[in-house]
Structure 1
Amino acid sequence: MPWLYLLIAVCAEVIGTSALKASAGMTKLAPSSIVVVGYGAAFYFLSLTLDQIPVGVAYAIWSGVGIVLISAIGWRFFDQTLDLPALMGMGLIMAGVAVINIFSKSAAH
């Protein structure tokens, strides 16, 4: 169950961050509300994972996967460019998340 909670936390954070762009500095009510609810849900579900997944591992996965997803959303919906160094960096982030999950004894299974 903690891995499901972590997935929900990542998705909620990505939704909140995506709405942050549309909130125009938190001046638009609907996107600002989505930001607050998204981040609130993200932190709530992240907190639920910490009983079984070490905080460093959970945060590394949460932030790493979030970075890659937000970058993809920025590229797809906000016309942001992803050049080769950006793609390589995201590949390294995902490789790091994979190494933690596959090889690290720090990750609780």
Structure 2
Amino acid sequence: MPYVLLGLAIVAEVTATLSLRASEGFTKWGPSAVVVAGYLISFVLLAKALTALNVGPVYAIWSALGTIGAFAGGVLLFQEPVRPVTILGAALIVVGVVVMNLGGGISHG
């Protein structure tokens, strides 16, 4: 169950981040409301997941998948450019998370 909560936290965070872009500096109310709700939901779910999982690796997974999700969403929704160096950066993020998780388990207790 903590992994489901973590996955939902990531989805909520990516949704909020993409809505932040769509809010045009908080001048559009609909996307602005999604930003606030998305981040609130994300942090609540992340906090619940952290009752059973270790904070370091979980935060690495949450932030890495959130970063990659925001990158992919920016490309798909806002036609942001994809360059080889950005793909390399995304790959390095994934490698970093894998290395962190090799250092120890992500559940505690």
Query: What TM-score do you get using the length of structure 2 for normalisation?
Result: 0.91
- Name the aligned partner's letter for residue 55 of structure 2: V
- Name the aligned partner's letter for residue 93 of structure 1: I
- Let me know the Cα RMSD of the aligned residues: 1.4
Runs ≥4 in structure 1, deviation > 4 angstroms?
none
Residue 7 of structure 1 deviates from its aligned partner by 0.4
Unaligned stretches of 5+ in structure 1? none
SS of the aligned residue for 1:52 comes to: coil
- Name the aligned partner's letter for residue 57 of structure 2: V
Q: Deviations over 1:56-84 (max 9, x none)?
A: 11111100001111101111111111211
- Name the aligned partner's letter for residue 84 of structure 1: P
- Residue 15 of structure 1 is matched in structure 2 by 15
- Name the aligned partner's letter for residue 8 of structure 1: L
What is the count of residue pairs matched by the alignment? 108
- Residue 34 of structure 2 is matched in structure 1 by 34
- Residue 6 of structure 1 is matched in structure 2 by 6
Q: Is the 8 A contact 1:2 1:53 kept in 2?
A: yes
